[in-house]
Each structure stands twice: as structure tokens, then as C-alpha cells.
Structure 1
Amino acid sequence: MLSPAGAPYAICPYCHTDYQQEGKEVLVEYFYRLEGQTSRDIRWMIVIHGMNSRAKWQEEFSWEIANRLRYSAPVLIYKYGWATIDVLARWLHRRLAKRLGERIRVAIEQAIERQRPPRPDIIAHSFGTHLLSLILENPDFEDLKFGRIITAGSIVRPDFDWERQIASGRVEAVLNHVAAKDKAVPFSQYVIPGAGPGGRAGYAAKAILNVRNMDFGHSDFFEPDNLRLLIADGGLWHSFLTHPLSHFSPNGAFAPNRAWKPAPLLLRGLARTLGYTLFCLIAPLSWLRRRLDP
């Protein structure tokens, strides 16, 4: 097949045959090629659950991944245990995030040994989204890189610098799945230092895909029927994790209306003081619960 660059040809550029001398006529055929991005496989992923979740959905999720996606995609379910006073203290957040980061590093090393990609996809819920954001901001974990990230019921601040994470190559893409009926996320900044209502207001970064479900509450993403739809072929999560994103525009996609500002410091301080007081009152019950259900 000859390149159109030299057409019309009188002599073959390969064998130097003179077409006119041989009495041959050059036939022109047109070929069309569609250029675009290819789809991707879910090779493996890490799931980070929310605060104090028994996470029955985690077993459902692993089962659905294995059956509906029709290929092997190992799922690491990271469980950091029950969190009570932990959510009120920033230094305890950092300790929990450090443990998570170290576990992710081990998982990546194991994935590389098994000839899997070094970048896991991530699904994080509620307090798990906050721990993930702390890992991304921690210089000690700059070596950790991620594929596509889904945050659900996020308590990450709307102004979190996702743009920098994507531009630097730490993160491939982010889907922020917002629940319109989420009653927990708007109050997170009053109780949890460094948190914000990303799971209601959306992320301000232009590179992020914010998608709102008008019927979901804080944990409805993981109800078995909803979860099956999200990760089935054509479901929102499955499509985000596997499809090219250049023209991916799902129903419910939105851009935040205005710049987010945190609540006044006085209100946040009063709320956390109340939180510490309540914790002191229920500390014995909390200790007993940890002992019986670690």
C-alpha cells in the first residue's frame, strides 16, 4: 500500500516499476481510521471504608467485582478499626493516615511482584476520603501513585488541590460521587479538623468529575442493589474506571456554583469542644465496644 504523500505515482517507489511502460493503471483506494483513547481494565483496587462501618457491603463489592466484571481484579479492603475520639484530633488523623499509607505501599510492592500495575484504583468513603487526602499531602508518601479514584460521601474540603495531584502524575483522574440527601457530610467540618463538605458541595478543581445522585444518602452508594448498578457494565463507577474520559459526561455531572469557604472558626471550635465533652461522657462505653468489636 502506497502513501498518499507521493500520489499520483508514475513509478513504484519500492520496485521502481514504470506503470505506463508496463501498461498498468494506478488504482486509488481510501482508508479511514478513527483515532481516540482506548478503554482500560481494572487490574486491582483498594477500598477504604468510612468511619465505624462494619462494611457488609465490602464482601458484596468483592463478589460483584469478581463476577460482574468477568476478570480477575483483586480488591484490598483496608479496615482501620473503630474511630471515636480519633476523628476529633488532627494528630490522630495523621497516625491513621500513616498506617494506611504504609499498607498501600506494601500492597503496591506485592502487586509489582505479581506483575500487576503499580497504580491501584481507589474507592474511598466518608472518613476514608479524609485519610486518603492526608496521604496525598504527606511528603513521606510522594512515591505512592494512584490510578482512578472514586470518592463517595466525601468529607474532603471542596478546595482540596486535586489539580496539583493530577498535574504531578500522582493521580490519573477523580470521580466525586455526591449524595444530595447526605445529612452527615455538611456537618463534618464542625467535628473533624481539616474536613469539609466535598461530598455535598463538590470539588472546585476543574479536572474533577463531580456527579450528583438526587436520591442517595450518605451510605446509599453501598446498598447491595445500588452497588450492583454502579459497578455493572454501563454503571457509573464501572464506566469511570474503564472508559476513556475525554468525552465522558454522565447524568448528574455538575460544577460547583461558588467558591467554598469554611464555617467560622468560633462555630467549629464550639462544636469540637462539645464533641470532646460528649466523648468524655461516653468513653467507658466506647472502650467496651472496642474490646468487644475491635
Structure 2
Amino acid sequence: MNTTQSDRWQVEVERRLSQGVELEFTQAQFARTVEAAPDDVGLKIFLDGLVGATSAERHEVYRCPMAPCARLLPAGMANTVCPFCQADFEQEGVTAEVEPVYRLVGEGSRDIRWLIVIHGMNSRAKWQEAFSWEIANRLSYSAPVLIYKYGWATIDVFARWLHDRLARRLGERMRIAIAEAQKSRLPDRPDIIAHSFGTLLLSRVLENPEFADLKFGRIITAASIVRPDFDWDRLIAQGRVEAVLNHVGGQDRAVPFAQYAIPGAGPGGKVGYLAASTLNVRAEEYGHSGFFLPENLGAAISRHGLWQAFLTRPLARFRPVGAFVAEADWRPAPLVVRMCTRTLAYGVFWVLAPFSWVRRKIDP
């Protein structure tokens, strides 16, 4: 076994571990992938070395000895009748062939069983209609998608009490959707994709004791206006949330100003999240809504795209391009500044409230 071969084989091992796929295999199966001979002695030494280093486990399986069949036998049927070719081993005077099987020690991939998507302010864009179609066509399986539309959010964003009302509606809709999913034998933990103002509403649901029973799988926030110091670590430790990916737009001009007008908001989609258990990834060329441009959305949920990988792969080895650690010294803008700008925004709220009400009636 030469170094070049060993390095190539190790690359294949790392690929399987990082994607959580094809963790169990025979030597012949692995050999086909790395273009080696099925009985390559060096490959056997390499695989046994993984076992010795506790990077893999080895156990024995039995194969039908009849040449036309040669299929792996179910457990407990090594010395009886082959369930595939019906050969009686005793009558044929043969015994099942013993073959070692290796299993890499690592987490397997997960399925995207269903999704809830929470849009941002006034984002009745084409991506909403295209999203389910993209998911169905770009992923290797079908995943039901609930796109939650809370209507037009305009001056609502200036008032905390209106946030709470919108968040309560969102939480109630989530609870109904989860109950319906359970009836369809889907998991009770949907994965979440939230954008802009939708990220803030999601954080409100997670903070509200009324919805403490709701639990979620993996969460993706894009152009987040959640505060960088939001306690994601606690939610993950409590089992409320499995994992969080914060997708940051390097050219986002809206997120940095959110804290000056929107109560409780912050530049999570610019600074990143401080929680150690979250993953921040920056896309330098993206603006505030760049995540949902057709070409970017398609890339994100393609086979090796960032969102698809985050939602399906083991996260212990997940290190995407653009990952960064948020600066721990982040502090919100001075309270006096935020109070002044929010007071101005609240004044605008009362001036425009009647017009906003009319707009909702005309275009709900």
C-alpha cells in the first residue's frame, strides 16, 4: 500500500463521514468506489487499520454460496435456505460464505421530512410560489412545505404589541400544522427557514411560554434581524431546537438599521449569532433578499448546496465556505439613540395607521 493510495482512500472515508452516507460497506463495495481491486491486500490493511483506530467497526455477514445468486443473507438465515434463490444449503452440500462488513463510526444523514417557511416584510415575491417546486425538483425526495404568510407587515414592525400578536398567530398556526403532520405520520419537529422580519417573529414564538411545547428540527435564518445575543444555546440545550444556521448577506444594507426602528431587533444577519452552538455563514455578494433570487435559491437547495447540506448532513464535520465566528464584544446601540429613533418611528406609526388599515382591506 503506497501513500498516494492511502490518501485517496482516506479522502473517500472523509467524504462519507461528512455527508453521512454509505457508512456501511464490504471491501469489494469500497474498492469499486476508489477504483481498486476487490481483493486488494493494501486496501484490507487500510480498512482493518480504521477498525484498530476505532474509526470503524467490523462485523461478519453471510452471503449465498450459489453463484447465480451470491446475495447477502438476512440475519439468522446463514445455514438454512436462501430466501432469494430458494437454494437449500444442506441439500446442495454447501455453507454460506462469510464476508466482513465495515461500518464507519459516524452519524448518518437525515431526511428533510417537512418544512415551515416564514417570509420577511411584504415579500410576496415569486420565490414563495416557486419554493415548493424547487424543493421537489432539486432534492432527491419530496418534502411538504408550509409557507406561512402573515399578510402585509408595514407599520406593524414599529410596535412590540403588534409583534406579539403576529407571533401568537404564527405559534398557533405552527401548532396546528404540527398536529396535522402527526396525523400524516410525519415528525413533530419541522425544519424552519425564516427571512428578515420572519426571523424576529420566530424568536418571539420561541420566547413565549405559551408555545413551550413546540419543538423544531434545524432552523435556517436568512437576513436575520434577531439580536446577536439571542440565547440559541439554551434552546438547543433544552431540546427545543436541533441546530441553527444563520445565513448572512455581506451586502445587506437593511439589517444593521433594524435595531433603530424595530423593538427587540438586532443585527444578527450582519454581526452573526454569539451562541457557540450556532453556525454563522456569510455570503459576501448577497443583499437583503439575495437569498431568494431564483439562481441563489436553486444553488442553496441543490444536492451539495448550503441549505440542503445543513438540513441533511451530520453537523459535527460540517464546515461550509464562509463560516465565521461572531465578535463576542457586540453591544446594542446606546439606549438613548434607540429610544429616539423608535419614538420617531412610533409617531410615524400613528400617522400612517389609517392608511395601513385601508391597504390591508384592499389587499389582505
Mapped to 2, the partners of 1:106 and 1:39 lie a distance apart of 28
1:68 matches 2:127: no
Over residues 99-156 of structure 1, what are the superposed CA-to-partner deviations in whole Å (9 max), with x where a residue is unaligned? 1001000000000000001100000000100011111111111110000000000000
Mapped to 1, the partners of 2:111 and 2:101 lie a distance apart of 29
Mapped to 2, the partners of 1:134 and 1:238 lie a distance apart of 26
Mapped to 2, the partners of 1:31 and 1:205 lie a distance apart of 40
Q: Gaps spanning 5+ residues in structure 1: where?
A: 1-28
1:147 matches 2:217: yes
* Mapped contact 1:155–1:197 kept (Cα < 8 A): yes
Alignment of 1:49-68 (within 5 A): 49-68=119-138
Matching residue's letter, 2:298: R
- Equivalent residue number for residue 245 of structure 2: 175
Higher RCO (CA < 8 A, seq sep 6+):
1
Of 29-38 and 198-207, more deviation after overlay is shown by 29-38
Mapped to 2, the partners of 1:98 and 1:121 lie a distance apart of 19
Mapped to 2, the partners of 1:56 and 1:277 lie a distance apart of 33
1:202 matches 2:276: no
Q: CA deviation at 1:172?
A: 0.4
- Residues 152 and 280 (structure 1), Cα distance of their counterparts in 2 relative to 1, 3 Å cut: same
- Equivalent residue number for residue 341 of structure 2: 271
| Secondary structure at 1:111 match in 2 | helix
Q: CA deviation at 1:280?
A: 3.8
Q: CA deviation at 1:290?
A: 1.6
Identical positions, percent: 69
| Secondary structure at 2:280 match in 1 | strand
- Equivalent residue number for residue 115 of structure 1: 185
Mapped to 2, the partners of 1:34 and 1:197 lie a distance apart of 41
Mapped to 2, the partners of 1:139 and 1:285 lie a distance apart of 34
Of 82-91 and 129-138, more deviation after overlay is shown by 82-91
| Secondary structure at 1:33 match in 2 | strand
Mapped to 2, the partners of 1:110 and 1:175 lie a distance apart of 26
- Equivalent residue number for residue 213 of structure 1: 283
Mapped to 2, the partners of 1:281 and 1:88 lie a distance apart of 12
Q: CA deviation at 1:91?
A: 1.3
Of 162, 167, 181, which aligns to 1:97? 167
- Residues 31 and 279 (structure 1), Cα distance of their counterparts in 2 relative to 1, 3 Å cut: closer
Matching residue's letter, 2:212: E
Alignment of 1:18-37 (within 5 A): 32-37=102-107
1:225 matches 2:310: no
Mapped to 1, the partners of 2:201 and 2:161 lie a distance apart of 12
Mapped to 1, the partners of 2:169 and 2:329 lie a distance apart of 33
* Mapped contact 1:147–1:173 kept (Cα < 8 A): yes
Superposed CA RMSD: 1.6
The number of equivalent residue pairs is 267
Mapped to 2, the partners of 1:254 and 1:133 lie a distance apart of 22
| Secondary structure at 1:250 match in 2 | coil
- Equivalent residue number for residue 331 of structure 2: 261
Of 65-74 and 127-136, more deviation after overlay is shown by 65-74
Mapped to 1, the partners of 2:292 and 2:101 lie a distance apart of 47
Mapped to 2, the partners of 1:278 and 1:178 lie a distance apart of 29
TM-score between both structures, scaled by the size of structure 1: 0.87
* Mapped contact 1:49–1:55 kept (Cα < 8 A): no
| Secondary structure at 2:117 match in 1 | strand
Of 282-291 and 198-207, more deviation after overlay is shown by 282-291
Mapped to 1, the partners of 2:329 and 2:131 lie a distance apart of 35
- Equivalent residue number for residue 291 of structure 1: 361
TM-score between both structures, scaled by the size of structure 2: 0.71
